[in-house]
Structure 1
Amino acid sequence: MAGSNSAVQQRGGLGKFFRGVKAELKKVVWPTKKELINYTIVVFVVTIFIAALISVVDAIFAQLFNTFLHFVG
């Protein structure tokens, strides 16, 4: 009996789910075009900065590793 009851709940639940999604999307405060452009620029700048930082740290560790190998070998 529980199986047939859960099937009914799932069918009704799916419609209820989508109605809930639609209601929640109406509550969203979407960014303006200017805000969206500013956020996108910030993401690009931070991404480039982090990539450069990782590159510098990688170069430093590579040099240290090569120096270590020179002394050991």
Structure 2
Amino acid sequence: MSDSRAVRNTSREKRTSPATFYRQVVAELRKVVWPTREQLWTYFVVVMAFVLFMMAMVALLDLAFGKLVFWAFA
């Protein structure tokens, strides 16, 4: 059985109010470097090409291993 006092936070830090938290979130979001429309389109095309390539590779491997298993156990 664990000691419940060891689990508690011994330093009594003051909690952040929701308004302060919101202001901090907005301040952090202003620091973000957002991509341009052209960059976003390029990233989208690259990701889609990679996903389609991986889908094709997995499908071909599945087909090849399936045929191999049917050949071995038929």
Normalising by structure 2, we get a TM-score of 0.75
Q: Which residue of 1 aligns with 2:37?
A: 33
Equivalent pairs: percent with the same residue?
A: 34
Please identify runs of 4+ aligned residues in structure 1 that moved more than 3 A. Answer: none
Aligned length, in residue pairs: 62
Cα displacement string for residues 36-64 of structure 1 (whole angstroms, at most 9, x for unaligned residues): 11001001100110000000100011011
Of residues 60, 65, 69, the one that matches 1:65 is: 69
Structure 1 residue 49 corresponds to structure 2 residue 59: no
Instruction: Decide which structure has greater helix share.
Output: 1
- SS of the equivalent of 1:31 reads coil
Counterparts of 1:60 and 1:42 in 2: how far apart (Å)?
27
In the alignment, structure 2 segments of 5+ residues that lack a partner are 1-11
User: What's the offset of the Cα at 1:19?
Assistant: 1.0
CA RMSD of aligned residues (A): 1.7
Counterparts of 2:24 and 2:30 in 1: how far apart (Å)?
10
